[in-house]
A and B are shown apart, each in its own frame.
Chain A
Amino acid sequence: MFRPTIRERRARTPALQRATAAAAALCLCVACGFEPGPAPLEFSLSGATQSALEDAPAVRDQIARELTTLFGTPSQPAYAPHPAWDAAGVDLNQPDASAGAPYPGLAAAAETYRRECLHCHGVEGGGDGPSAFGLTPAPRDVRLGIFKYTALKDQSRPRRADILHTLEQGIAGTSMPNFQRLAPAVRESLADYVRYLAIRGEVESALVLTWREEEELSPEAVGEALTFVWSRWAKAPSKLVVYEGEVPAASKERIARGDALFHDPLKGNCASCHGTSGAGDGPAAWKIGVDGQREPAYSDAWGRPIRPRDLREGLFHGGSRPIDIYRRIYAGIPGGPMPALGETMKDGEPLLSSEEMWCLVHYVRSLSLREGP
Chain B
Amino acid sequence: MRTLIALLFGALIAAVLWSFVVAPGRGWWMPASVSTYGGDIDKLFNTITVVLAVAFVGTIGGLAWLVWRGTRTTTVRALHTHGNARLEGAWTFVTGGLLLTLALMQLSVWRAIQAERGSGGKPLVRVLAAQFDWRFRYPGVDGMFDTADDFETPYRLVVPVDERVVIELRSRDVIHGFFVPALRLKQDVLPGSALTAWFEAHTPGEYDLICTQLCGSGHYRMAGKVQVVSRADFDAWNERMQREWRTNGQERP
**A159 close to chain B: CB less than 8 A:** yes
Query: Which stretch from B26-34, B195-203, B242-250 is at the chain A interface?
Result: B242-250
Query: Which stretch from A45-53, A208-216, A274-282, A316-324 is at the chain B interface?
Result: A316-324
If A172-B135, A177-B132 touch, whether A321 touches B74 (CB-CB below 8 Å) is no
**A371 close to chain B: CB less than 8 A:** yes
Q: A140-180 interface mask toward B, CB cutoff 8 Å, 1 = contact, 0 = none?
A: 00000000001100000001011011001110100101101
Give the interface SS of chain B, mostly helix, strand, loop or mixed.
Answer: loop
CB neighbours of B248 from chain A (8 A)? 242-247, 323
CB distance from B38 to the nearest CB of A (A): 24
Complex: A181 Cα to B218 Cα, angstroms: 14
If A6-B74, A7-B74, A369-B146 touch, whether A323 touches B155 (CB-CB below 8 Å) is no
**A136 close to chain B: CB less than 8 A:** no
**A346 close to chain B: CB less than 8 A:** no
A240 close to B74 (CB less than 8 A) = no
CB neighbours of B155 from chain A (8 A)? 178, 180-181
CB distance from A328 to the nearest CB of B (A): 12
**Which of A5, A131, A170, A327 neighbours the largest number of chain B CB atoms within 10 Å of its CB?**
A170
The A316-343 residues at the B interface (CB cut-off 8 A) are 320-323, 326-327
B223 close to A327 (CB less than 8 A) = no
CB neighbours of B117 from chain A (8 A)? none
| B148: nearest chain-A partner, CB-CB | A250
**B36 close to chain A: CB less than 8 A:** no
| B248: nearest chain-A partner, CB-CB | A243
A370 close to B246 (CB less than 8 A) = no
Contact partner of A178 (CB less than 8 A), chosen from B133, B150, B151, B217, is B133
**B192 close to chain A: CB less than 8 A:** no
Query: Which stretch from A13-21, A57-65, A103-111 is at the chain B interface?
Result: A13-21
**B162 close to chain A: CB less than 8 A:** no
B253 close to A365 (CB less than 8 A) = no
Complex: A245 Cα to B247 Cα, angstroms: 10
B148 close to A369 (CB less than 8 A) = yes
CB neighbours of B249 from chain A (8 A)? 151, 240-243, 323, 326-327
**A10 close to chain B: CB less than 8 A:** yes
CB neighbours of A246 from chain B (8 A)? 246, 248
Complex: A226 Cα to B199 Cα, angstroms: 57
Q: A223-259 interface mask toward B, CB cutoff 8 Å, 1 = contact, 0 = none?
A: 0000000000000000011111111011000000000
A16 close to B148 (CB less than 8 A) = no
**B4 close to chain A: CB less than 8 A:** yes
Complex: A143 Cα to B117 Cα, angstroms: 51
If A6-B74, A175-B218 touch, whether A180 touches B156 (CB-CB below 8 Å) is yes
CB neighbours of B221 from chain A (8 A)? 177, 181
**A68 close to chain B: CB less than 8 A:** no
CB distance from A284 to the nearest CB of B (A): 28
Complex: A168 Cα to B133 Cα, angstroms: 12
A321 close to B247 (CB less than 8 A) = yes
**B1 close to chain A: CB less than 8 A:** yes
The B104-123 residues at the A interface (CB cut-off 8 A) are none
| A13: nearest chain-B partner, CB-CB | B1
Q: A331-373 interface mask toward B, CB cutoff 8 Å, 1 = contact, 0 = none?
A: 0000000000000000000000000000000100110111100
Q: A16-57 interface mask toward B, CB cutoff 8 Å, 1 = contact, 0 = none?
A: 110010000000000000000000000000000000000000
Complex: A370 Cα to B4 Cα, angstroms: 68
CB neighbours of A371 from chain B (8 A)? 147-148
CB neighbours of B253 from chain A (8 A)? 150-151, 159, 161-162, 164-165, 240
CB neighbours of A20 from chain B (8 A)? 4
CB neighbours of A250 from chain B (8 A)? 148
CB neighbours of A369 from chain B (8 A)? 146-148, 150
| A159: nearest chain-B partner, CB-CB | B253
Complex: A181 Cα to B206 Cα, angstroms: 13
The B175-228 residues at the A interface (CB cut-off 8 A) are 217-218, 221, 223
B4 close to A323 (CB less than 8 A) = no
Complex: A241 Cα to B249 Cα, angstroms: 7
CB neighbours of B230 from chain A (8 A)? none
The B130-148 residues at the A interface (CB cut-off 8 A) are 130-133, 135, 144-148
Complex: A175 Cα to B130 Cα, angstroms: 9
B154 close to A247 (CB less than 8 A) = no
Complex: A168 Cα to B144 Cα, angstroms: 26
Complex: A259 Cα to B75 Cα, angstroms: 93
**B152 close to chain A: CB less than 8 A:** yes
- What are 6 A-B interface contacts by the 8 Å CB criterion? A13-B1, A177-B132, A181-B223, A243-B248, A243-B249, A369-B147
> Chain B interface (Cβ within 8 Å of chain A)?
1, 4, 73-75, 77, 130-133, 135, 144-148, 150-152, 154-156, 217-218, 221, 223, 244-250, 253
Q: Which 4 A-B pairs have the closest CB atoms?
A: A250-B148, A370-B146, A242-B249, A180-B155
